[in-house]
Amino acid sequence: MTDLAVAPTDYSHVPAGLRAVRDRIDAACGAAGRAAHAVTLVAVSKTHPVEAVIAALAVGQTVFGENRVQEAATKFPALRAAHPAMRLHIIGGLQTNKARDAVRIADMIDVLDRPKLADAIADAIQREGRSPDLLVQVNVGDEAQKAGIPTADADAFIAACQARFDGRLAGLMCIPPADGDPAPHFAWLAACAARHGLGVLSMGMSGDYEIAIAHGATHVRIGTAIFGRRD
Ligand SMILES: *Cc1c(COP(=O)(O)O)cnc(C)c1O
């Protein structure tokens, strides 16, 4: 993994970054009248080397998020052997031809957003004999360039996925538009999850996780505030 031609990157800031984020999560939970353990911190280690993950593991972080299945497959299986409590979320757009690899290595796939991907995941679950938890990603801003099921189709798609995957459909995920107030989008997703009796709400990133917690996020996905800027 390590390219010796490149100076080793220093990840000594990770413990302090994690502590600061955990403190802010606790404070946001307190302000919202929620228990701090109601929110799971997903440390988004995409683009960072395995050393970054090791630095986080060393201070008790066990839940990680990666965008690319291929990248996750190079970092996680070896670490998981030594850290059985480790959990991996796949949080980035998933091609159907990567569904089987995702089902093999993920504990949660946050990005189920179209019928063809549901087919591929169902097929992969059969073949692998392994069932990660699943979240339906909703394109809450109905943005042309973004992944996620359009809001108009969300209720029908969620109901179909619940019927198909039974208890494995755990909840919903969203990435609100970069501009503007994310709060109405978080509120929309929370109401949608409640309509369907779904308990997991994966919403909130480095820039908006306190707002997401105020709106009921159970999982916040945070990269930059922990690991620093990505190249
Ligand atoms: C990269 C990414 C994150 C983390 O974003 P930060 O702003 O670095 O905290 C969260 N969710 C998804 C889906 C991402 O792709």
pLDDT tens, position by position, 119-175: 999 999 999 999 999 999 999 999 999 999 999 999 999 999 999 998 999 999 999
Q: What are the backbone dihedrals phi and psi of residue 26, each rounded to the nearest 5 degrees, phi first?
A: -60, -45
Our answer on whether the CB atom of 222 is closer than 6 Å to any ligand 1 atom is: yes
Q: Is there a domain that residue 158 lies in?
A: yes
Give the CA count within 13 Å in the CB-facing half-sphere of 112: 30
**Domain extent for 182:** 14-227
Among candidate residues 108, 170, 118, 113, the one with its CA nearest the CA of residue 138: 113
Query: Residue 197: left if φ>0, alpha if ψ -120 to 50, beta else—which one?
Result: left
In sequence order, what are the residues at sequence separation of 6 or more whose Cβ sits closer than 8 angstroms to the Cβ of residue 167?
A: none
Q: Is there a domain that residue 1 lies in?
A: no
Q: Is there a domain that residue 165 lies in?
A: yes
Number of independent structural domains in the chain: 1
In sequence order, what are the residues at sequence separation of 6 or more whose Cβ sits closer than 8 angstroms to the Cβ of residue 126?
A: none
Q: Is there a domain that residue 146 lies in?
A: yes
Q: Which atom of ligand 1 is nearest to 222's Cα?
A: 9
pLDDT at 34: 97
Please write the tens of the pLDDT for every residue from 184-206: 999 999 999 999 999 999 999 99
Smallest CA separation from ligand 1 atom 13, residue: 91
Q: Is there a domain that residue 4 lies in?
A: no
Q: What is the CATH number of the domain that holds 82?
A: 3.20.20.10
User: Is residue 51 very low, low, confident or very high in pLDDT (cuts 50, 70, 90)?
Assistant: very high
Q: Is there a domain that residue 5 lies in?
A: no
pLDDT at 8: 54
Q: Is there a domain that residue 80 lies in?
A: yes
Q: Is there a domain that residue 118 lies in?
A: yes
Cβ(161)–Cβ(118) below 8 Å = yes
- Strand 219-222 relative to strand 40-44, pairing: parallel
